[in-house]
Amino acid sequence: MVFVRMNPHDEGSGGESDEYAAARGRLIDRLRRRTDVSDRTLAAIETVPRHEFVPPARRSAAYADRPLPIGHGQTISAPHMVAIMVDLLDVGRGDRVLEIGTGCGYHAAVVAEIVGPGNVHSVEYVPELAESASERLARLGYDVAVHVGDGREGLPLEAPFDAAYLTCAAADGVPDPIVEGIRPGGHVLAPVGGSGAQRLVRLTIRDDGGVDREDHGGVRFVPLQ
């Protein structure tokens, strides 16, 4: 099943209050002080209304720099982790990106701010999360294609992509079908490893089809189901 919304509308968006904008500004100041992420990534994070992506009861914490529960045992990543991952993905306007693990759709929206409409495809395992993320993204004006399925299989019908990333940890390494869907020169970014010992890994696909691997430190993500 694929949910693709091409005509965003404003119904029920709830509008934007000064309070949320101010909290988002403070979050950006904090990320600027505490991380090395680029101004371009910070600008994308400053644009996306994170409070629209978290459950209503969590809105007051939407601009704290920490993960929050989004239901179905899943979490939205902390803003600094999204920022670091967006920087490492190293994509620009017009690049096509594959996300595994849509969750609430926040990370996809930040990436969509950078690559532009129609360029982000996201695969989500839990149908209810896929459906609500798809509706939310469309309502907020993000043209992101959300697919229900097992991200381990990649998205061969939409490949090749310029880059891919996982928002859930792959215990046994990045599944081959995801890597095979990336053009030479592109990256795959993924938390890899079992609980307690995950590393953020960036693969670069070489022209000869080989893969270079960089380690970007210890992380903690929900597991790939």
Q: Is 181 in the site for ligand SAH (CB under 6 A)?
A: no
Catalytic residue, candidates 77, 122, 132, 134: 77
Q: Is 24 in the site for ligand SAH (CB under 6 A)?
A: no
Residue 77 annotated as catalytic: yes
| Whole-angstrom Cα Rg for the chain | 16
Locate 140 and state its tokens.
Answer: 């907020």
Q: Is 125 in the site for ligand SAH (CB under 6 A)?
A: yes
Other C-beta atoms lying within 10 Å of the C-beta of residue 150? 14
Helix (H, G, I), strand (E, B) or coil at 215: strand
Q: Is 107 in the site for ligand SAH (CB under 6 A)?
A: yes
Residues linked to residue 192 through DSSP beta bridges, in sequence order: 170, 199
Whichever of 23 and 112 has its CB closer to ligand SAH, that residue is 112
Query: Left if phi > 0, otherwise alpha if psi is -120 to 50, otherwise beta: which for 96?
Result: beta
CB–CB of 88/114 below 8 Å? no
28-87 binders of ligand SAH (CB under 6 A):
70, 74-77
Stretch that binds ligand SAH, among 7-15, 117-125, 193-201, 211-219 (CB under 6 A): 117-125
Positions that interact with ligand SAH (CB under 6 A): 70, 74-77, 100-101, 103-104, 106-107, 123-126, 129, 150-152, 167-168, 222, 224-225
